[in-house]
Amino acid sequence: MQYIQVTFSFTEVQEYQKDLLIDELANIGYNTFEDTSDGFDAFVDLDHFNELDLKEVMTQFDGELKYTYNVTEIAAENWNEEWEKNFDPLIIDEQCYVRATFHQPQPQYKYEIVIDPKMAFGTGHHQTTTMMMQYILSTDVKDKVVLDMGCGTGILAILASKREAKMLTAIDNDDVCYESTLENSLLNNITNITAFCGGKEVIPDTVFDVILANINRNILLDQISRYAEVLKENGSIFFSGFYESPDLEMITEACKEFGINYVSHKKIGEWVAAHFIKG
């Protein structure tokens, strides 16, 4: 598969401005982001690239950011080589060690996850993924039935499985993410994850104890009604992929319509993850 790399360089930029731009790019199909010395690289598969969409996003930041960007077409194997140079292992709450296949194991940590992203979003390094992993580590998911929406690399479902969840369903509308989830499940010797490629329409009519949804505000708002249909009474939803204001209030109000109530939230930088319970 071929990919498009868009390299953004900024004369001056605040972290929250980068986060806002990344969020907008994610809405039009970009699924991997790597920091650089003066900005970041954004990646999207060639079939999803539309420069008119990109220019429309960038007009939202005219007058706020001084930037340049450069578009390059790259092959997947070249991106993987670049990724390997820049990927560092990650430790979550001194319990979970996330590494690539070319890193050495660290058996002192209770949970180890091996991730080969293959352009799929979700190595744990992004704040939203980190917070979702923190929620999983602090939540009793043993023998629970779990749905992971917007699964990316499958990292959240894999961690929940290692935390003894009984059955897991992982869904993403990107076929690269779907394949990545299958491959990473094998890498981690996980056999109880069933993956689907699609959106809310492929959510099975299963009763879920826990739903993990790390996507973005607009998709979450669109899918909340379906989550409510498949979540058991007193079941938990953990959301991430959005900001505290105005997103959290919008999601909270939308959830109320379906009997899903806000419990708490956490924040890293401008990003938020939140816990809701049905009933």
The Cβ of residue 48 has, within 10 Å, a number of other Cβ atoms equal to 14
Taking alpha carbons only, the member of 236, 23, 39, 14 closest to residue 126 is 23
Q: CA 230, CA 220: separation in Å to the nearest integer?
A: 15
- In this structure, which amino acid lies at residue 14? Q
Give residue-wise pLDDT tens across range 75-94. Answer: 766 656 666 666 788 999 99
Q: Which residues lie below 8 Å from residue 48, measured CB to CB, with a gap of 6+?
A: 28, 29
What is the second-level CATH architecture of the domain 2-83? 2-Layer Sandwich (3.30)
Q: At 148, list the tokens.
A: 């992971």
> Rounded CA gap, 61 and 76, in Å?
30
pLDDT, tens only, 89-124: 899 999 999 998 888 999 999 999 998 766 555 666
- The conformational region for residue 269 under phi > 0 = left, psi -120 to 50 = alpha, else beta, is left
Q: What is the mean pLDDT of residues 122-150?
A: 92
User: For the chain, what percent of residues have pLDDT higher than 70?
Assistant: 92
Range 193-212 average pLDDT: 97
Strands 39-45 and 2-12: antiparallel
Q: Enumerate the domain spans of the chain.
A: 2-83, 87-278
Please determine, for residue 133, whether its predicted confidence score (pLDDT) is greater than 90.
yes
Range 87-278: architecture per CATH: 3-Layer(aba) Sandwich (3.40)
Which helix (H) or strand (E) covers residue 219, if one does?
helix 217-230
For residue 198, what pLDDT is reported?
Answer: 93
